[in-house]
């Protein structure tokens, strides 16, 4: 099992700043910090807790994304990276997860129950047998 622990050192700072502003304004302050990736695209949300499980024949990604309807989750995979894009009334989630091994993206199956997203893939064969004639 590998855990994705890519924490932004400023996350705690912004959470505390938001808490203090809400306290001073009796909850009327709505601070939302939009981060951008270095290439100008959407930055990962960094608040998705996820675990990656490597098994003999499969790879599983389990992510906590509460407060989202199943229909509002968009998943994409290119065989090496899984993209999770979801939004609810209170939160938006966007995360790109580099998978530990190449997977067969066409074998993907996903479930979402009580805020827990689970996506499973079959491992892609690392090499093909070549017949010598």
pLDDT in tens, 12-23: 777 777 777 777
Q: How far apart are CA 59 and CA 64, in angstroms?
A: 17
> Model pTM greater than 0.75?
no
Q: Which residue has the tokens 């690392």?
A: 126
DSSP E strands in 45-115: the ranges are: 49-54, 58-64, 73-77, 81-87, 92-98, 103-113
Helix (H, G, I), strand (E, B) or coil at 13: helix
Q: Which residue has the tokens 């079959």?
A: 122
Domain boundaries, the chain: 2-123
What confidence tens digit (pLDDT) does each residue in 19-56 have?
Answer: 777 777 776 555 444 444 555 555 444 468 899 999 88
Please say whether the structural domain 2-123 has been given the CATH code 3.40.50.150. Answer: no
């Amino acid at each position: 099992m590998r855990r994705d622990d890519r924490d932004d050192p400023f996350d705690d700072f912004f959470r505390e700043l938001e808490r203090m502003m809400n306290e001073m304004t009796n909850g009327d302050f709505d601070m939302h910090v939009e981060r951008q990736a270095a290439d100008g695209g959407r930055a990962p949300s960094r608040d998705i807790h996820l675990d990656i499980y490597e098994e003999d024949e499969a790879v599983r990604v389990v992510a906590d994304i509460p407060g989202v309807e199943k229909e509002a989750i968009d998943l994409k995979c290119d065989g090496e990276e899984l993209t999770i894009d979801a939004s609810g009334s209170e939160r938006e989630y966007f995360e790109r997860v580099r998978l530990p091994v190449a997977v067969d993206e066409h074998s993907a199956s996903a479930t979402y129950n009580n805020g827990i997203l689970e996506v499973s893939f079959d491992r892609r064969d690392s090499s093909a047998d070549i017949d010598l004639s």
